Homo-oligomer: A and B are copies of this chain.
Amino acid sequence: MIEATSPQPIDYTLYLVTDRDLMSSATIEESVDLAIQGGCTVVQLREKTADSREFFEMARRVREVTRSAGVPLIINDRVDIALAIDADGVHVGQRDLPATEVRRLIGIDKLLGVSVNDLDQALAAERDGADYIGVGAMFATDTKTEADTSSFEELTAIRSAVEVPIVVIGGINAHTIPLFKNTGIDGIAVVSAIVAQQDPAAAARHLKALFAKEVAH
């Protein structure tokens, strides 16, 4: 029997999404390294403004950091770069390549994450082979200006309807984490609440503890 999901269960608790323009560290690999020291369990490299060569070189450097820490590295959008650097997975939004195409390109061993906004998209993502979904933006943010927000009602409906792990994204920080109590989510995806902080490791540690105390089921 062929398993469509990764054999090792992934810990989605504290899912870091990078953004060079927001980070407090000098380099992206330093930012990722600090976040992992603080307890980040998954790293998604998301760099919408880099050219392909820059993205590739950045991804290769971050790959070294995540690999030595044993943390999965997921590449946003660019399946080719994920394949070139042998990342652990790809994350796509609704304006990226369709999930079915991505699954065909990456095979069954790499993780596939899909951003969804509502129940229909969540069901489609699961059907199309997503290993996990990102629901949001839960709150309007500077990093997701154009994203529609997802309500807690939609999140609840999605949680009831799909089996795959769910991470929430968009405006997740120490103030909003407690709101996810009893929502059944598997993790929180965070950008600025980690990378933009003066001490990303401490920020990650604090968010992870808060999630464990207030939300984890």
Provide the residues of chain B in CB contact with A104, threshold 8 Å: 84
Chain B, Cβ-Cβ closest to A100? B84
Whether A70 is near chain B, meaning CB under 8 Å from some CB there, is no
Separation of A98 and B96 alpha carbons in the complex (Å): 22
Separation of A181 and B171 alpha carbons in the complex (Å): 61
| Total interface residues in chain A, CB < 8 Å | 21
B-contact bits for A103-115, CB 8 A (1 contact / 0 none): 0110000000000
Residue contact B105 to A80, C-beta cutoff 8 Å: yes
Whether A27 is near chain B, meaning CB under 8 Å from some CB there, is no
In the assembled complex, the CB of A209 is this many whole angstroms from the nearest CB of chain B, namely 36
In the assembled complex, the CB of A89 is this many whole angstroms from the nearest CB of chain B, namely 14
Residue contact A78 to B80, C-beta cutoff 8 Å: yes
Whether A54 is near chain B, meaning CB under 8 Å from some CB there, is yes
Query: How many copies of this chain does the complex contain?
Result: 2
Whether A101 is near chain B, meaning CB under 8 Å from some CB there, is yes
The A57-101 residues at the B interface (CB cut-off 8 A) are: 77-81, 83-84, 92, 94-98, 101
Provide the residues of chain B in CB contact with A92, threshold 8 Å: 52
Whether A175 is near chain B, meaning CB under 8 Å from some CB there, is no
Residue contact A81 to B53, C-beta cutoff 8 Å: no
Provide the residues of chain B in CB contact with A52, threshold 8 Å: 77, 92, 95-97
List 16 A-B pairs, Cβ < 8 Å: A52-B77, A52-B96, A52-B97, A53-B95, A53-B96, A53-B98, A54-B95, A56-B98, A78-B80, A79-B80, A79-B83, A79-B84, A80-B105, A81-B97, A84-B101, A84-B105
Given A51-B95, A56-B98, 13 other A-B residues pairs in contact with their CB atoms under 8 A: A52-B97, A53-B94, A53-B96, A54-B95, A79-B80, A79-B83, A79-B84, A80-B80, A80-B83, A81-B97, A83-B105, A84-B101, A84-B105
